[in-house]
Each structure stands twice: as C-alpha cells, then as structure tokens.
Amino acid sequence: MEVLQRMLSPLAEYYEHVDHEEIAINQPGEVWCRRHHPNRDGDIWIKYLDDRFTLRWLRNICQAVANTFNQSFDPDESDKPSTIFATLPPYEHRFAAVAGKNVVFDQTLPEGGIAMAIRKGASAGRAHQVDFSDWGLVEGRGVQEGFHHVAKIADGRADAVQALKDAVQQGCNILISGGTSTGKTTLFNRVIQEVDHRTRVLTVEDTREIKLHKHPNHVHLILHLRKNVGHCIGYESLKS
C-alpha cells in the first residue's frame, strides 16, 4: 500500500488540495479539478496542464491500483473496456477508471486511452466529530432555521433527532440524496449508528464507505457491476 501511495503522490497534489473535492483525467497531460466553491469567474471545474500524466503513467497507475485491490486490468482487451473501482488510503478517496480501445482521445492513439476520476473521501479534512446538528437536527428541538431544505421531518416542531432515531429503530425506509460531496455518506454513517445492536445488518456497496465497525452482527458485501472480481461479488450473482 505504501508503494501505491508513493505512485499516486503526483495526483494527490490535486485530489488532496483543500479547495478540491474531485479530480478527473480525460486525456494525458491534463487534470480537471472540481472545486468546493466556484472561483472568481464562477467556474467549478478548473483544468491544469501537467506533462507528468502520460498515457504510460496512467496505465501504470491503473495497473498498480488493480494489483493492490486484486482486480483485473487489461487495457488492450478488444472486446470490452477494463474498469477499476477502489477506495484509496488513508482517507478513503474513491478511485474509478476505465481503459480500452473505445476510450478515444484522438485518432493517433490506436491503443485507446484511459479516463480516470478520484473523489475525495468523506473523512478527508474533517475537523470535528460529525453529529446530527451538522444537518440542522438538534436534540429536543425541531429542524433548525435554514436547514428545512436539508432535513424533512413530518412534524417540524417535533424533536427532530428523536424522530429520526425512531424511524431507524422502526425499520422505516430512509432516503438520503444529494449532489456530489454534499455529505450523503457522512450522514448515513451517523444514522446507521442508531440501528439496534440486536439487529442483523447487511450492507452492499460498490466501494467501501460504510462504517459499522462496532455493530456485532454485520455482513458487508462489495458489489461489482461485472462478474465476480477479486473480493467483489458480481451483480448477477447477487440477483440470483
């Protein structure tokens, strides 16, 4: 893992930057960075040129990630693209890449290309212990002013935190939705702590983000959209 972190260090300069929440590489020699907030020109995505990111370097990075996480990677396969999904240490950044002949930069690259994205993990740069108050839910009170668009509780005057805890304990369906890096996983990890310890919990993800280490009866499955790959369960296997 230390070797992989050293190899990723040129990219880490971008995805670990305090102003960035995600980076994307569409072709060699450039990296697009998504900012948490627009710059002075109102731009969210900013492009940087970096000649360190050659096609060969990108292939080596993908191969290293695939080897580390026991996934297959063959960008020269003609039938279908090769994909990689992983969670990078130490802050659980989400890594995704696709490579193959159908990833076309231009006609001068017959071997195909690589598209890559890394999204900053929920735990990166967190300055405090997350609690319900971060979403306007306070013990003994209703949803706080300015947060009604975030938290929907049936009775706005009710104890918002208790209402949410009751919903979890009663096994109600709870939908957490939002845009990229808005705190969906962070909130979910807080909510799931309220599950009764006597309950058996089954979680399914494509990359590891759910934290339920203290729950005694917990099964965690990693789902891959293709067939069974490494430690991942294929989608078709799960359906059957």
Q: Which stretch, 20-24, 87-91, 106-110, 183-187, has highest mean pLDDT? A: 20-24
For residue 128, what pLDDT is reported? 46
The verdict on residue 95 lying in a domain is yes
Which range has the worst mean pLDDT, 59-68, 78-87, 228-237?
228-237
pLDDT of amino acid 147: 58
The percent of residues above 90 in pLDDT, for the chain, comes to 20
In a domain, 196, yes or no: no
Structure confidence at residue 232 (pLDDT): 52
Q: What is the DSSP string of the chain?
A: -HHHHHHHHHHHHHHTSTTEEEEEESSTTEEEEEESS--TT--SEEEEE-TT--HHHHHHHHHHHHHHTT----TT-SSS-EEEEEEETTTTEEEEEEEETTS-S-TT-TT-EEEEEEE--TTTT--S---GGGGTB-TTS-BPTT-TTT---SSTTS-HHHHHHHHHHTT-------STTSSHHHHHHHHGGGS-TTS-EEEEESS-----TT-SSEEEEEEESSS-BTTBEEHHHHH-
Whether pLDDT at 206 is above 70? yes
More confident residue, 113 or 57: 57
- Look at residue 127 and tell me whether its pLDDT is greater than 50: no
Domain span at residue 80 reads 1-119
Hey, which residues does 118 pair with through a beta bridge? 23, 95
Residue 133 lies in a domain: no
Torsion on CA atoms 91, 46, 62, 56, rounded to nearest 10: -140
Cα(102)–Cα(200) distance, integer angstroms:
43
193 pLDDT exceeds 90? no
Residue 79 lies in a domain: yes
| Calpha distance 119→174 (Å, rounded) | 25
Determine, yes or no, domain membership for 137.
Answer: no
What pLDDT score does 122 carry? 61
Of the chain, the end-to-end C-alpha distance in Å amounts to 34
Confirm whether 35 is domain-assigned.
yes
Query: Taking a C-beta distance cutoff of 8 angstroms, is the pair 78, 101 a contact?
Result: yes
Length of the chain (residues): 240
CATH number at 40 reads 3.30.450.90
Mean pLDDT for the chain?
A: 79
**pTM assigned to the model:** 0.62
**Measured distance CA(158)–CA(147) in Å, rounded:** 15
Measured CA to CA in angstroms, residue 49 lies from 32, 40, 46, 196 at distances of 9, 20, 10, 50
Lowest mean pLDDT among 31-40, 84-93, 184-193: 84-93
What is the token pair recorded at 12? 């880490």
Q: What is the mean pLDDT of residues 214-234?
A: 67
What total of structural domains would you count in the chain?
1
In a domain, 13, yes or no: yes
Mean of pLDDT values over 188-203 = 87
Residue 41 lies in a domain: yes
